Chains A and B, each alone.
Chain A
Amino acid sequence: NAGVTQTPKFQVLKTGQSMTLQCAQDMNHEYMSWYRQDPGMGLRLIHYSVGAGITDQGEVPNGYNVSRSTTEDFPLRLLSAAPSQTSVYFCASSYSRGVYEQYFGPGTRLTVT
């Protein structure tokens, strides 16, 4: 049981490049989400999904896309990277949304130059 996994661990992009951050969970959780963590700003929700085929925007969705074709996978796509997207990105999952413990992945540290 690997829990929540994320790849890559580190990534450096140039402004304007695109890339996909991968997230997978093997706990059969319905709810998955993406957060970004910036110093002094806590964890801010980017997008979330309550099940396969269903996604919705969080607090800071601009510049990011998501899809959920399977229960296990929830990739985050950066369409055209900007320096403001330099951050640590965490994927999380829980049995359902809201009232259950969220399990976080190990994070991806992204730098955009």
Chain B
Amino acid sequence: GENVEQHPSTLSVQEGDSAVIKCTYSDSASNYFPWYKQELGKRPQLIIDIRSNVGEKKDQRIAVTLNKTAKHFSLHITETQPEDSAVYFCAASDGYQKVTFGTGTKLQVIP
């Protein structure tokens, strides 16, 4: 089955700096890669996703890149703000079976 590895497990950045979270996956059949944000005590919520026919996708300060050859994808957050502090999960899916999640990255933005 699919295996998703996520790094780093914790990340501290100064407000205004950029943050990058990286994930690798094992199943070459995976074609959908969502990112979820989970604030403390809350439910995970989708912030951005990318499909395998696209190499990069942007939404304001958030971007995701995908390298299918290397089987890795990354989340980039620019101009970080304190409200970006949360746990971020990457995931991978082949569109037919389960969605497999990474183990999460706790991002702390220091004011």
| Residue ranges of A at the interface with B (Cβ–Cβ < 8 Å) | 33, 35, 40-45, 48, 58-59, 90, 97-99, 101-102, 104-107
Which of B89, B94, B102 meets A98, CB within 8 Å? Answer: B94
Question: Can you show 28 pairs from A to B with CB atoms below 8 A apart?
Answer: A40-B9, A40-B104, A42-B6, A42-B101, A42-B102, A43-B89, A43-B101, A45-B99, A58-B98, A59-B1, A59-B98, A90-B43, A97-B93, A97-B95, A97-B96, A97-B98, A97-B99, A98-B94, A98-B95, A99-B95, A101-B34, A102-B34, A102-B99, A104-B45, A105-B43, A106-B42, A106-B43, A107-B43
Q: Which residues of A contact B104 (CB under 8 A)?
A: 40, 42
Interface of B is mostly: loop
The 5 closest A-B pairs by CB, nearest first: A98-B95, A104-B43, A42-B103, A43-B101, A99-B32
Q: Which residues of B contact A33 (CB under 8 A)?
A: 98-99
- Using A35-B101, A45-B100, A97-B97 as known contacts, list a sample of 18 further A-B pairs with CB atoms less than 8 Å apart, ordered by residue number in A: A41-B103, A42-B102, A42-B103, A43-B89, A44-B101, A58-B98, A90-B44, A97-B95, A97-B96, A98-B32, A98-B94, A98-B97, A99-B95, A101-B49, A102-B99, A104-B44, A104-B45, A106-B43
Q: How far is the CA of A105 from the CA of B42 in the complex (A)?
A: 9
Q: How many B residues face the partner with a CB closer than 8 A?
A: 26
Interface of A is mostly: loop
Whether B46 lies near A99 (C-beta < 8 A) is no
Q: Which residues of B contact A43 (CB under 8 A)?
A: 44, 89, 101
Whether A98 lies near B43 (C-beta < 8 A) is no
Q: B76 an interface residue at 8 Å Cβ cutoff?
A: no
Q: B51 an interface residue at 8 Å Cβ cutoff?
A: yes
